Amino acid sequence: MKAPATLFETSPGEVWLEIGFGGGEHVSAQAQANPDVGILASEVFVEGLAKCLSDIEEKALKNVRLWDEDARELVDLLPEASIDRVFILFPDPWPKKRHHKRRIIQPDFLDALSRIVTPGGRLRFATDVRSYADEALEKILTHGAFDWQASKADDWRRPPEDHVRTRYETKNLGDIAPVYFDFRR
d(CA 89, CA 108): 19
Instruction: Please give the angle made by the CA atoms of 161, 167 and 168, to the nearest 5 degrees.
Output: 100
> With contact defined as beta carbons under 8 Å apart, do 81 and 119 qualify?
yes
Annotated catalytic residue 92: yes
Catalytic residue from among 92, 111, 162, 175: 92
> With contact defined as beta carbons under 8 Å apart, do 21 and 52 qualify?
yes
Strand partners, 85: 16, 122
Q: Which sequence positions are flagged as catalytic?
A: 92
